[in-house]
Amino acid sequence: TKHCIIVGSGIAGIAASIRMALKGYQVQVFESNAYPGGKLSEIEIQGYRFDAGPSLFTLPDQVEELFLLAGKDPKEHFEYQKLEVACHYFWEDGKQIKAWADQNRFAEEVETKLGESGTTIRAALKRSAFIYDHLAPLFMHRSLHQLSTWIRPQALKSYLKMGKLGIFSTMNKANEALFAQPKLVQLFNRYATYNGSDPYQTPATLNIIPHLEFNIGAFFPKKGMHEITLSLYRLALSLGVTYHFNSSVEEILVEKGKAIGVQVKGKPVCGEVVINNMDMVNAYKTILKKQKQPKKLLEQPKSSSALIFYWGINKVFPELDLHNILFSDDYRAEFEHIFKKGSIYHDPTVYINITSVYKQDDAPPGCMNWFTMINVPNNQGQDWDQLITAARKNIIAKINRILKTDVEQLIEVEQILEPRTIEYRTSSAQGALYGNSSNNKFAAFLRHANYSSDIKNLYFCGGSVHPGGGIPLSLLSAKIMTEMVGG
């Protein structure tokens, strides 16, 4: 048997371990942390459970596919449900809407509550489906670094539609051209944050994202987001994969232009294939520091980071759903702070994710588990302690204004995650959530490939390589990569 070594057990590393085991490799995964999943992990504080990182689950078929490949029925191993309401939106002027999964219902809601014609909602979702149909087969499912991708008939068809795919406009401009009501522009601009980008800079092509949430659906795993990690980890174990925790890889060993294994705790471990799931920037700085550095790729601007307060709240708010957004009054100023000033706006958009709405035992009776998050710049050495103290005050004031409450009084337990701790725990460069940002139209081409062009037998998967960050794309990176490895 051939041996495969994987550095990191992020969701892409786990998916890669499953795919390589199914290819017949003997797989060993080395992970710095004491647990699998990287960003997709969970924390517990005094009776409250929180999904630590990702909260929105789209494209569940990417998870199911792994069970199917292994000849198992996904329903027996990983249960999830479709959300009726993708998100509950709140504004300072008292307006609220629910983004219903059902398009007609959503269009009706927007018409009655915000005065935007339902026709534009349908047009927006059609536009999104159009971009998805043209670009997903090319950008999400294939390597961009192989000629074969570019000479497929599908690619040729897409070249002819460049203008319609939004490559020459920004997300915000395209949304302003479509919607009459600024609140809808804001709502659809928010999708840029799904990969840590700025709607005022990112190409309108990213209007592809609402397709995932509305046309395909937003979902919730019955046991919480962390179950994505756990169910796939169990699948990997059942296929004979070995996981070594508390085991940082110190170096990827290269001999005569070939990866031959890794060094862990001072000792070499050899394998025919080495797969790196660690963030690329930090990987080149540490475990690949002796190798040729792809300078241009490593210098690309990173996506935004997050500031999260995990709050145990001693009250139930019936008006709150699983996903809630309390919008900033000045979205442009908020993004200017994040991406241009490297700072935090005083009126940030506050996202509150409450899994106890769906999974009651995530909080004690009569309580809720609030994952309260704002988007913040990635870490450039700012004075975070000072920024966090100010942001906490502003977030609480905003929640109090919109929900007419005194939230400070209700916080029973608190823990904080911020750019420095995100980097510390998962080794993501600058604490960015999604690797490189997509703020420029060439970003897709400036992500690291899924293989090394200099070192044989070395492959890459995860949110910092092609096709990008987020759970579905990270899972796809493992698929694209595995297809390149010989059997």
Which of 5, 9, 261, 370 binds ligand FAD (CB under 6 A)? It is 9
- In angstroms, what is the minimal distance from the CB of 164 to ligand FAD? 27
**474 binding ligand FAD? (CB under 6 A):** yes
Which of 5, 12, 449, 455 binds ligand FAD (CB under 6 A)? It is 12
**38 binding ligand FAD? (CB under 6 A):** yes
Q: Which two tokens stand for residue 432?
A: 């960015």
Query: Please, which residue, 40 or 121, has the CB nearer to ligand FAD?
Result: 40
**460 binding ligand FAD? (CB under 6 A):** no
Binding mask 402-431 for ligand FAD (x = CB under 6 A): --------------------x---xxx---
The 10 Å Cβ neighbour count of residue 79 is 12
Which of 10, 166, 199, 221 binds ligand FAD (CB under 6 A)? It is 10
Residues 6+ apart with CB under 8 A from 309: 370, 372, 373, 392, 395, 414, 415, 416
Q: Which among 26-34, 87-95, 399-407, 436-444 is the span making contact with ligand FAD, rule CB under 6 A?
A: 26-34
**140 binding ligand FAD? (CB under 6 A):** no
Q: How many residues bind ligand FAD (CB under 6 A)?
A: 37
DSSP string, 274-343: EEE-S-HHHHHHTTTTTSPP-HHHHTSPB--EEEEEEEEESS--TT--SEEEE--S-HHHHHHIIIIISS
Structural contact between residues 177 and 482, judged by C-beta atoms closer than 8 angstroms: no
**220 binding ligand FAD? (CB under 6 A):** no
Q: Which two tokens stand for residue 340?
A: 């241009």
Q: Which among 1-9, 150-158, 319-327, 356-364 is the span making contact with ligand FAD, rule CB under 6 A?
A: 1-9
Structural contact between residues 7 and 16, judged by C-beta atoms closer than 8 angstroms: no
> Phi and psi (nearest 5°) for 442?
-95, 0
Residues 286-315 that bind ligand FAD (CB under 6 A): 287, 306, 308
**433 binding ligand FAD? (CB under 6 A):** yes
Strands (DSSP E) contained in 8-59 are 26-30, 42-45, 48-51
What are the b/e assignments for 388-406, b being 16+ CB within 10 Å? beebbebbbebbeebbeee
Q: How far apart are CA 257 and CA 250, in angstroms?
A: 19
Look up residue 63 and give its amino acid. Answer: V
The 10 Å Cβ neighbour count of residue 257 is 11
Which of 4, 5, 21, 40 binds ligand FAD (CB under 6 A)? It is 40
Give the CA radius of gyration of the chain: 22
**85 binding ligand FAD? (CB under 6 A):** no
Which of 166, 221, 419, 470 binds ligand FAD (CB under 6 A)? It is 470
Residues 228-257 that bind ligand FAD (CB under 6 A): 248-249
- Helix ranges (DSSP H) in 163-309: 171-178, 182-189, 209-210, 226-238, 280-285, 295-298
Residues β-bridged to residue 261 = 253, 270
- In angstroms, what is the minimal distance from the CB of 135 to ligand FAD? 18
Q: How many residues in total does the chain contain?
A: 487
Which of 418, 463, 481, 485 binds ligand FAD (CB under 6 A)? It is 463
**432 binding ligand FAD? (CB under 6 A):** no
Look up residue 416 and give its amino acid. Answer: I
Which of 4, 25, 28, 33 binds ligand FAD (CB under 6 A)? It is 33
Q: Say how many CA atoms lie within 13 Å of 90 toward its Cβ.
A: 21
Residue number of the CB atom closest to ligand FAD: 10
Widest CA span of the chain, in angstroms?
68
Which of 4, 21, 27, 56 binds ligand FAD (CB under 6 A)? It is 56
**221 binding ligand FAD? (CB under 6 A):** no
Query: Please, which residue, 8 or 377, has the CB nearer to ligand FAD?
Result: 8
Site of interaction with ligand FAD (CB under 6 A): 7-13, 30-33, 38-40, 53-56, 248-249, 277-278, 287, 306, 308, 422, 426-428, 433-434, 462-463, 469-471, 474
